[in-house]
Chain A
């Protein structure tokens, strides 16, 4: 069971919001880049992360749109968010999340409040907002993603199976 507090972002959060292009040079130094994660969406987020806090990242519609830069997904994982929740995801970002072992879950995030206490039941397919006392079903995770998830990402999956076979 995953527990944590929600940090809510709105619709149309792009990878430029998450990992701004002006910090291009920090792509080889993600701990330093973390100081700027989500800077153009909500600068308060990285300040809290730098204090040692962690949250479950919650987005709206088309989360992670734009650039393929996987650094965006990696920064969210590095910030301590074990999963990402959103109403919908942009496709490259969605793959990136599962590839690095951070499930991206599609759920009605309108019903989740900022800083609400959340419980995510990956096996049971539920997200519980303990603050509001509501239980939400997330869309079933595609089978191929489940396979990667079980191994902790696509690299571990291929190492174990020796190939990209399903």
Chain B
């Protein structure tokens, strides 16, 4: 019997063949904390070893992505602790404006076959590069940062066999929201989600990151894609082609459950408040006539170049509706610069968008677009939980960057296919 992607990566790391259900201790290739979870991680490190130290400074990444630039002094002090810890231990720090940890991991640090843990639930994003990447709490990350290893229960794998190609106007965000709508928010609890099939090669890396990013919204531990030519191209573009290697699941691997998904049948969808699994076709949302006060394009889910590109294509030469705000947050500085040089930023600003710093933006609920009472937001982010954007008396809908761009033009949820 062969191995699933998750089993293959963990077996390689542990040095023997592992099987689902067993507990293994694995070396970690990167351990990450951000400004919201870092300070607690540092407290636990001190409790654990009596001082601030890490097993290998080159494998510990700290990012200031959730609260930067700081909106208030107590958060500025969190950021000071991040910098002080980095100075003391030599851990890598990527400061305000450099980008979101998951995106920086993909650009600069992670390679296929790595085990990556982060004190951020969306660490699963880099599973798109065939890395066993998952989110953990600050205490687990403290352990990983000090010992260079962590324990896992080897997960069973749920396989999603993708066939065909997404129709025009339909994106990988629609795919993952459709999957979550179908299996539910605990549909893949404790499981590895693995994507395979001919359809995979029709998804770019940017598209795959979006799918892997939302594994956690289905309860999944990891969201894995095979490492193939697309992965290689992405790593080459980021100057790391030499680190690439192919990995795929064995043909005779054994799965907990299997789904076949015909990509040609996916249509644009929207998640209604307050659950990501509350998914409806955009056609229905259009009929419901949902007015939007704020539209957000960005975050670790959809702040990559292709996301900004598709939004700019729709918005070019058009205007954001009066009474609607369009906020755009490139997910990293590298993406921001590329979008600037290719005219994407110009098109967005001309249409009326506000461009914010590379960061998590308003998804965290503390700054850069906190909603007012009764306000409605359509966002490319991954969560629409009650109060997520700083106000429990507001409503968040989730969709693709194209649906967001079209909706910004109309001032209500719109079908992106009308703008192609």
Residues in chain A within 8 A of chain B (CB atoms): 12, 14, 16-17, 20-22, 24-28, 39-40, 61-62, 65-71, 73, 88, 90-93, 95-96, 99-100, 142-144, 153-155, 158-159, 163-166
Contact = CB atoms under 8 A, between A and B. Distances in A.
A88 B74 contact: no
Contacts, number: 140
A70 B37 contact: yes
B25 A164 contact: yes
B276 to A, nearest CB: 10
B48 A62 contact: no
Nearest to B33: A68
Given A21-B388, A91-B189, 12 more contacts: A17-B387, A20-B365, A25-B72, A40-B386, A61-B186, A66-B121, A90-B186, A90-B189, A93-B137, A154-B140, A163-B147, A164-B147
A59 to B, nearest CB: 13
A39 B387 CA distance: 10
Nearest to A67: B121
B40 A70 contact: yes
A9 to B, nearest CB: 13
B23 A24 contact: no
B36 A70 contact: no
Nearest to B23: A144
B78 A28 contact: yes
A27 to B, nearest CB: 7
B373 to A, nearest CB: 13
A66 B25 contact: no
A68 B221 CA distance: 12
A16 B385 contact: yes
A34 B385 CA distance: 20
A96 B391 CA distance: 26
Contacts of B185: 12, 62, 65
A96 B142 CA distance: 12
Contact of B391 (A22, A27, A92): A22
Contacts of A92: 121, 135-137
20 contacts: A12-B275, A17-B385, A17-B387, A21-B364, A21-B388, A24-B364, A25-B74, A27-B78, A28-B39, A28-B77, A61-B186, A66-B385, A67-B121, A68-B118, A68-B137, A68-B138, A69-B37, A143-B23, A154-B140, A159-B48
Nearest to B387: A40
A40 B273 CA distance: 14
Interface of B: 23, 25, 36-37, 39-40, 44, 47-48, 66-67, 72, 74-75, 77-78, 118-121, 135-140, 142-143, 147, 149-151, 153, 185-186, 189-190, 219, 221, 275, 364-366, 370, 383, 385-388, 390-392
Closest 3 CB pairs of A and B: A21-B365, A70-B137, A96-B137
Contacts of A26: 74
Contacts of B120: 68
B121 A22 contact: no
Contact of A166 (B66, B151, B366, B385): B151
Contacts of A95: 136-137, 140
Contacts of A25: 72, 74-75, 78, 366
A136 to B, nearest CB: 21
A16 B388 contact: yes
Contacts of B392: 20, 39-40
A166 B74 CA distance: 40
